[in-house]
Structure 1
Amino acid sequence: MTMSQSKGFQALAQYIQREGGLPGRAVVERLPDGTEHRTGIWIGNQKARRDRLDPAQLRALADLGIEWAR
């Protein structure tokens, strides 16, 4: 599964499109399929593990405007 196919990425993209910025740590995003995703926790984890993300994952996050992924 690529980053852009992950539930976390989908939830983050949806949140950013709607709100125009990054979610806070407590944000839980409801996806179109009805599932909920702890998006705030997920983006924090991605940032903490950014040195282990591959270039495609970092690029996908950077494309959403995530500064630390550049």
Structure 2
Amino acid sequence: MVTLILVLALIVLMVVGAFLIHLLNNQHEERIAAHHYSDPLPGVGRHHRKRHHATTSTGPTTPTDGRSGSD
């Protein structure tokens, strides 16, 4: 008799656990469905950062108005 009660209690616990997992999965799916992403693969083909290229100076480093740098 004790074995039968134990088996029934385990079956009831498994059913309750499966039901709770089912509820949590539904809640999680609803939460995921609420997020709308613009791209299926974000980051592919997108350039958010501005690319700054280093400028190299090819001109003279002294002032060009005819004066020398010293007084």
Give the TM-score of the pair, scaled to structure 1: 0.21
Structure ranking higher on relative contact order (CA contacts 8 Å, 6+ apart): 1
Higher helix share: 1
**Structure of higher CA gyration radius:** 2
